[in-house]
Structures are given as structure tokens and as C-alpha cells.
């Protein structure tokens, strides 16, 4: 009887095998998911709102192209400015919304809610240098 059960299990496994159809791509369940790119979404925001002050001559944080990511993550005066495990308490978010003084930019035009949400999403997606 034991041999018969083993034979049935083996036959069922062989019958149940199918050709692998290749790698599976797992798409986000939320159809509104948008991948945020540092170079395409975040750096242009810095270029538009921040770099007029936060350039190579700024003593604490250079947000110019080619420098911004490294400054935010490792070498700026308060680096890291982002915390992927605590988006809302990331220095960058706190400065943009004004919960950490001083609000940035310090004068209008401020970063609008869409821009802040884009930064939030970038941080929550791992704050990648992409």
C-alpha cells in the first residue's frame, strides 16, 4: 500500500508539471502606483525651488544637479535628510511643510502640496538615486 501511495504521488507530480512560462512580473495591486525618479521628479523640484540658494556656495546643503542626492544622504550638514522608515519625520519633509524651522524655501513661492507629495512618495519608495 505504501508503494502504491508513493507511485500515486509521483504520477500526480509528473502530470501536474507544466513548462515554466518565464519570469513573472509582480505589478503593484494599486493601479495608481507611480514610480518616482530622483533625476526626473525630485531634482527638477530642487532646481526650481531650492538651487537659487542651495548651490555649491551654500555652507550646509548643495542641492544642485550631481550633488543633491549625496548631500541629502551623506554629506550635508544634517544628513541624512530622509528616513525611508519615517517619511513624515524626515528633515526634508519637515522643512518643506514647516514643522522644522525654517520652512524651505523661506519665502514664496513655496513647494506646493503636489511637490511635497512627490517627495513623500519618493522617500516611501526607498529614496533611490534613480
Over residues 22-60, the pLDDT tens digits come to 555 555 566 677 899 999 999 999 999 999 999 999 999
Instruction: Please say whether the beta carbons of 54 and 61 come within 8 A.
Output: yes
- Find the radius of gyration of the CA atoms of the chain: 24
The pTM of the whole model exceeds 0.85: no
Amino acid at each position: 500500500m505504501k508503494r502504491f501511495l508513493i507511485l500515486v504521488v509521483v504520477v500526480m507530480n509528473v502530470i501536474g508539471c507544466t513548462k515554466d512560462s518565464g519570469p513573472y512580473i509582480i505589478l503593484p495591486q494599486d493601479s495608481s502606483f507611480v514610480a518616482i525618479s530622483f533625476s526626473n521628479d525630485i531634482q527638477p523640484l530642487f532646481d526650481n525651488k531650492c538651487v537659487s540658494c542651495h548651490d555649491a556656495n551654500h555652507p550646509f546643503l548643495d542641492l544642485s544637479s550631481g550633488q543633491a542626492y549625496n548631500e541629502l544622504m551623506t554629506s550635508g550638514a544634517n544628513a541624512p535628510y530622509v528616513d525611508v522608515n519615517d517619511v513624515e519625520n524626515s528633515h526634508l519633509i519637515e522643512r518643506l511643510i514647516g514643522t522644522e524651522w525654517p520652512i524651505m524655501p523661506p519665502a514664496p513661492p513655496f513647494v506646493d502640496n503636489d511637490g511635497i507629495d512627490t517627495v513623500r512618495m519618493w522617500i516611501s519608495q526607498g529614496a533611490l538615486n534613480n
